[in-house]
Amino acid sequence: MAKLSNVLRIGIIILGFMVGYAMLTAILFYFESQDPNATIKDYGDAIWFAMVTLTTVGYGDLTPVTQEGRIFGSIFLLASLGFYGVMIGQISSIMNTIRENNKLGMNGTNFTNHVVMVGWSDFGKAVIDQLIAAGRQVAVVTKEKDNIDIIREFYPNKNVFTLFSDYSNVEMLTKLNVEECSIIFVNLDDDTEKLVYILNLKKQFSDLKYVVTLDNANLKTTFQSAGVTYAVSKHEIASRLLASYIFEPDVAEYSEEILSYPQTDEHYDIKQYKVLKDNPYNGQFYDKVFYDIKKEFNVVLIGIVKIEDGKRTLMKNPEETVKISEEDYLIMIINKNSVKKLKRFFNVDEGYL
């Protein structure tokens, strides 16, 4: 609608100038036709004079000779300058509007299977850093216009899309292509605000997955009852890691490394891969896959996720007789160097699909 109104405005301006020029041309011809020495002898000459004046060419082959004609000729000159001034101003205004709308995300994004983050903060930036390192795209909505410049300074448009909008305007989330996202991370200031926002959001997007971080771990059950897929307590995780550093620092250091995305080929990480129908491990027993995947890819298989009737069951270090099936997820410790080989072998990207 904004583009249409801009085009309409320019069209009205051009039409107004054309009507004005036609009137001036007719008046000029009227006065010049009264003088036998006039070079503007017919209406065609008057139109030609108007065109060369408007385009600032000014050949000089046709000039008004009457006093009145010169007055209107001067008006032609001033009108030409005014026309170009107005047109340049309008075009500049439209270009600025287009750039601003693009910057604020008003044109939307075509991201798919991406992560939508509601709210921007330093913690949110740390999360995005990990997601981008893992090759994921993120769409961020923020109600602070200053945050847009900050986000665009940190991340290229191909990785992160930004939208300026009030959080209460749920319909604006369609510009984030929220229907095609993998999960929504609600990154607001306090737990109450997050809960209210999610309840309102689920009225329109009930089938999507949601994840939140909690300041109060006691609210975890409340959020899960509200339909949140994953409710994570930052203090709970931090306290466990800190306690581990106190009495088993090597374990804590190892845990911290495998929780983050590997930065070098030698760094390890925990990843999950979906078993597709054509996966060579489909239908095989856990123990065979365990030894084979270690031998072929230097990867340690540590668990399986089985999905039955929409319910996910995590099996940590399962029995040898557990059979791997299509749609299962294999959880493994893997370094960055092995990721490329395993991706080709599994024919699927890492993560939840």
42 phi, psi to nearest 5 deg: -145, 180
Judged on CB neighbours under 10 Å (0-12, 13-18, 19+), 202 is middle
**pLDDT confidence of residue 42:** 72
| Structural domain contains residue 230 | yes
Q: Are residues 130 and 188 in the same domain?
A: yes
Question: What tens digit of pLDDT does each residue of 297-314 get?
Answer: 999 999 999 988 778 899
Question: What tens digit of pLDDT does each residue of 15-57 get?
Answer: 777 777 777 777 776 777 676 766 667 767 777 776 776 666 6
Sheet holding 115-118, edge to edge: 160-164, 138-142, 115-118, 183-186, 210-214, 230-233
Q: Are residues 10 and 73 in the same domain?
A: yes
Closest by alpha carbon to 104, among 79, 141, 71? 141
- H helices of the chain, in order, are 2-32, 43-54, 67-103, 122-133, 145-154, 191-204, 220-225, 234-247, 249-259, 286-297, 336-346
The residue range of the domain holding 176 is 115-237
Q: Are residues 167 and 273 in the same domain?
A: no
| Structural domain contains residue 150 | yes
| Structural domain contains residue 314 | yes
| Structural domain contains residue 245 | no
Q: Are residues 38 and 150 in the same domain?
A: no
Give the total residue count for the chain: 353
Tally of domains within the chain: 3
Q: Which residues, in sequence order, are bridge partners of residue 315?
A: 304
Prediction pTM value? 0.70
Q: What CATH number is given to the structural domain containing 311?
A: 3.30.70.1450
How far is it, in rounded angstroms, from Cα 223 to Cα 263?
Answer: 33
Read off the pLDDT band of 103 (50, 70, 90).
confident
Closest by alpha carbon to 212, among 196, 240, 236, 233? 233
Look at residue 154 and tell me whether its pLDDT is greater than 90.
yes
Alpha-carbon Rg for the chain, nearest whole angstrom, is: 34
**pLDDT confidence of residue 65:** 66
Task: Specify the higher pLDDT residue, 194 or 67.
Answer: 194
**pLDDT confidence of residue 236:** 86
Coil, strand, or helix at residue 316? strand
- CA 309 to chain centroid: 33
Q: Are residues 99 and 44 in the same domain?
A: yes
**pLDDT confidence of residue 186:** 95
Look at residue 110 and tell me whether its pLDDT is greater than 60.
yes
